[in-house]
């Protein structure tokens, strides 16, 4: 006898809406609950009530908040995320989790990533191994405070080969996702200060390492500027044409310093990723919150200067100002000191 429970059907419809398109809802439910596909069908259709234990299993697996789903408290927003530490979720697993997220993005149509940048969107670090190595060193030494990295010094010649594959996968996958990025002239500042600080404190093995990093950051800027000129994302070293590549929209905002917030479009849904404590992100599926954040991102875009494809003068001025910051940092480090 059919006993349709609208709340139960809303629950399963929510799971279906957020399930990658290549996965079968009934197969996933049957596998998670360890039941037959027929039993899964009857629960999905509302013909058989779902138990509290089953709800718990599904909520845990799919990271569902029932109060958000049923709007039990419209003034609260539930976020999920995993905190990086030096035991069960370290830097290696963080890299893999980032790769899993952007691979999942590509399973939806349409898909898009919007990025309100406080500093270089971190996916660009992985374009060039020397930059990726330096940032990895910075994360592990000065953010995660790994004990074995306390007295470590950095060289671009250090062996980071165990990360090369995941860096390459991150960079290449990111380059295939249509994107909108909002930058500020201060986007480069934190990286320059990290280099200056490590040089001042003797954390580089040689000045050649510093010079190499400045050169590689220049190459990264050249790459991003080329993307902006043609309005498409590129693999590193790829020759651009407007006929191929994921669409790339770059905006300059002279008033707002971003916070590395990301809005991901997965099909007809949007999800917000908020950056906190440098490396960590938390995500919410709350539709009210995500709609607000998407609208906010759109408003910021309308109040920013588009510098991809159009506005060549503003684009050249902006990227040259970033290059000037590199030269200023270089001179601060290597100019002869005058003694009195």
pLDDT digits (tens, 9 = 90+) for 15-56: 888 787 788 999 999 999 999 999 999 999 888 888 988 988
For the entire predicted model, the pTM comes to: 0.81
What are 68-84's pLDDT values in tens digits? 666 555 667 778 888 88
Residue 117 pLDDT grade (very low, low, confident, very high; cuts 50, 70, 90): very high
Residue 340 has pLDDT above 50, yes or no: no
> Which one is the CATH code of 6-64: 1.10.12, 1.20.120, 1.10.260, 1.10.10?
1.10.260
Query: CATH 1.10.260 in the chain, residues?
Result: 6-64
Question: What is the DSSP pairing of strand 248-252 with strand 179-183?
Answer: parallel
What are 217-245's pLDDT values in tens digits? 999 999 999 999 999 999 999 988 766 78
Residue 4 has pLDDT above 50, yes or no: no
Query: pLDDT at position 244, please?
Result: 76
Average pLDDT value for the chain: 90
What are 292-321's pLDDT values in tens digits? 999 999 999 999 999 999 999 999 999 999
Residue 185 pLDDT grade (very low, low, confident, very high; cuts 50, 70, 90): very high
Q: Which residues contact 254 (CB under 8 A, 6 or more apart)?
A: 184, 185, 305
């Amino acid at each position: 006898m059919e006993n349709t429970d609208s709340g139960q059907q809303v629950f399963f419809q929510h799971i279906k809406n957020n399930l990658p398109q290549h996965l079968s809802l009934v197969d996933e439910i049957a596998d998670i609950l360890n039941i037959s596909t027929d039993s899964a069908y009857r629960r999905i259709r509302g013909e058989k009530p779902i138990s509290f234990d089953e709800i718990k299993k599904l909520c845990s697996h799919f990271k569902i908040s029932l109060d958000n789903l049923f709007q039990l408290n419209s003034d609260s927003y539930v976020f999920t995320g995993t905190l990086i530490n030096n035991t069960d979720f370290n830097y290696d697993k963080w890299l893999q989790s980032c790769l899993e997220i952007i691979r999942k993005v590509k399973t939806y149509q349409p898909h898009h990533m919007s990025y309100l940048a406080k500093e270089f969107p971190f996916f660009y670090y992985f374009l060039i191994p020397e930059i990726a190595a330096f940032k990895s060193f910075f994360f592990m030494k000065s953010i995660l405070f790994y004990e074995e990295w306390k007295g470590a010094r950095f060289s671009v010649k250090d062996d980071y080969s165990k990360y090369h594959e995941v860096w390459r996968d991150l960079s290449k996958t990111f380059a295939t996702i249509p994107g909108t990025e909002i930058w500020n002239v201060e986007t480069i500042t934190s990286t320059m200060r990290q280099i200056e600080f490590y040089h001042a404190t003797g954390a580089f093995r040689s000045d050649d390492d510093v010079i190499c990093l400045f050169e590689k950051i220049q190459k990264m800027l050249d790459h991003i500027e080329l993307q902006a000129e043609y309005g498409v994302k590129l693999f590193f070293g790829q020759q651009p044409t407007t006929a191929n590549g994921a669409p790339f929209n770059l905006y300059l905002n002279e008033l707002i310093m971003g916070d590395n917030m990301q809005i991901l479009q997965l099909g007809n849904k949007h999800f917000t990723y908020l950056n906190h404590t440098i490396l960590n992100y938390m995500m919410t599926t709350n539709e009210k919150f995500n709609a607000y954040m998407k609208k906010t991102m759109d408003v910021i875009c309308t109040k920013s200067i588009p510098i991809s494809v159009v506005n060549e003068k503003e684009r050249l001025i902006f990227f040259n100002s970033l290059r000037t910051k590199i030269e200023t940092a270089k001179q601060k480090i290597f100019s002869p000191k005058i003694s009195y």
